Amino acid sequence: MVRKMAVRRGVSRNTMIIAVAVLVIIVLGTAMFLLRPGEKPPTEQPPTGPVYADTIIIGTTDRVSDLDPANAYDFFTWEVLTNIGEGPFVYEPGTIELKPGIIESYEIQEGGKVYILKLRQDVKFADGTPLTAEILKYSIDRVANIEGDPSWFVLDFVESTEVIDDYTLKITLFNPVSFYPAVLAVPTYFPVNPDAYPFDEITPDNTAGSVGHYKITTWVRDQQLVLEANENYYGDPPKTPRIIVKFYSDSTALRLALESGEIDIAWRTLDPTDIQSLQNREDINVIEAAGAYIRYIVFNTNIPPMDNPLVRQALAAAVDRGAIAETVFFGTVEPLYSLVPNGMWSHIDAFKDAYGDANLELARDLLRQAGYSEDNKLKVELWYTPAHYGTTEADVAALVKAAWEATGLVEVTVKSAEWSTYLEYTRKGQLMITLYGWYPDYLDPDNYLYPFLHTGSNRWLGNPYSDTEMDNWLDEAQVATDQATREALYQQVQQKLAEDAPIVPIFQGKLYIATNKNVKGVVLDQMMLLRYWLIYKELENVNPVNVSLMTNIFLVIATAQIFIATSVAKASVLKRRIN
């Protein structure tokens, strides 16, 4: 009986696969007939201007973590959320200037402690539900209630929220904060539909979205994401109605997909050698983004021996930033000696002043003070994630290991985990030493210091560090209105950061994006989030009807591929269970 069941399931699986294959053949056959040279639909009129593709395909090696704004706190997921959602404020593309988003106006009262937000009355979710002040309040309060990774944007600032009328929300802060409008622009403040997002539960694969330019129509984790224009969006429609994001295992596969025409855009992350290769091709544009992103090493001070400041200082002194910048990245990044980026006001080279670079002699001295020797080596675990930051991560980890072991007093075990697992382990505070990167939430020194060093606000890193004096300085700097005062406080913070060394900056980088020559409208500014709604692709001498037809053909094939893969996987699971 068991064998008969297995055979039936096998036949069923084969039948599904054959049916899908036949469907694809029919579609392709129809396409070949309709696209025969010289034949046009009777009602077609010759195009009078440029013809634009209705679909653009973006390839990436990055991954989506949580599609829920209450827990999402990584670069690429925020990029997706920015394209399907919008907050009270938005950045004018290509600038760092803020402008109203889902609000038509606002008032600041009580010296900056109270914000009165007047919502636009034509904002709707993708399902047609109107946005009200009550829904925005629900969304903000939900973030605070769930206490996910980015909840500090609400918990550390907001004392209360109050509905004044259907389209007016009052937000009262604990203290006036000069840059709070920039905080209101982050995805954590995007409204969500209460019917789709429970108040006390994170929904990581929720595709309901928010009130942005696009809506999600297909989501297969780590395989494909399809965005369609949100017909209920209050503003101008996207330049391209459909965006498909395809996920690749590594930089090489991403580059080959671009070169073969499988994708239109390669984004996050190409290796330095791939960038150099693509820069020499006439059919591809390589665009360089502003360099406001940083990389660093996190020491979890809750795990021995990282609770010993002498150990952290020794490892900080031994890091060879120059070797990483030149050997791994061929000079496309620059050494960094503070969490505040080079060029941003208040930046000082705190770690260079304290330790120099690749200072093995100092490192050995500090390790000996901590009780280590050639016969009693310091043993540590260094973790990295292999794809999220590109396939260079193994090389970065190898050079960090080599620098530490060059002291003769350290033994390093290198381990890795895929992004979702890496995040989970980090959030739980289980990893001793990790490699991480940071992309700005808002362009202020506060954003490069407070989320890392303030007690509780660094929960997204597993709460690796806490210091009362540091907390006080960071709190003072947030509410100070005079920039000179803030700058002095932030320099104190950076000096103490170098002294305590819970987090060690290693380099500051640029982002690169490579596109097909016909792709236009790519805007990369200091926020470094790709706005899909601005991008379009020009087509030359192409029948517009056929463009739409071929796009639908592609979607049928892509859907069939996913269906087949899913069916085979399910069948395999059933077979294993039966056997």
Q: What is the pLDDT of residues 247-260, one digit of tens each?
A: 999 999 999 999 99
**What would the mean pLDDT of 425-439 be, rounded to a whole number?**
96
* Spans of all domains in the chain: 2-39+543-578, 214-290+511-539, 293-509
Residue of higher predicted confidence among 564 and 287? 287
What pLDDT score does 11 carry? 43
What pLDDT score does 36 carry? 40
pLDDT level of residue 7 (50, 70, 90 thresholds): very low
**What would the mean pLDDT of 317-330 be, rounded to a whole number?**
96
- The SS3 call for residue 336 is coil
**pTM as predicted:** 0.81
**Beta strand 378-384 pairing with 410-416:** parallel
What pLDDT score does 543 carry? 55
What pLDDT score does 523 carry? 93
**Beta strand 265-267 pairing with 378-384:** unpaired
The answer to whether residue 43 scores a pLDDT higher than 80 is no
* Dihedral (Cα; 140, 142, 145, 151), 10-degree rounding: -50
pLDDT level of residue 99 (50, 70, 90 thresholds): very high
- CA–CA dist 250, 386 (Å, integer): 9
- Cβ neighbours of 428 (radius 10 Å): 9
Question: Any idea which fold 214-290+511-539 has?
Answer: D-Maltodextrin-Binding Protein; domain 2 (3.40.190)
Q: Output phi, psi for 286, to 5 deg.
A: -115, 120
Please give the sequence-ordered ranges of beta strands (E in DSSP) within 210-264, or none if there are none: 214-220, 224-229, 242-247
- CA–CA dist 254, 140 (Å, integer): 37
pLDDT level of residue 29 (50, 70, 90 thresholds): low
pLDDT level of residue 542 (50, 70, 90 thresholds): low
- The SS3 call for residue 6 is helix
H or E element in which residue 1 lies: none
Full DSSP string of 263-328: -SEEES---HHHHHHHHT-TTEEEEEPP--EEEEEEE-TTSTTTT-HHHHHHHHHH--HHHIIIII
The answer to whether residue 2 scores a pLDDT higher than 90 is no
Arithmetic mean of pLDDT over the chain: 89
pLDDT level of residue 35 (50, 70, 90 thresholds): very low
pLDDT level of residue 569 (50, 70, 90 thresholds): very low
Based on C-alpha coordinates, what's the Rg of the chain?
A: 26
Q: What type of residue is 132?
A: T
Cα 326 to chain centroid distance, Å, stands at 25
Which CATH architecture is the domain 293-509 placed in?
Roll (3.10)
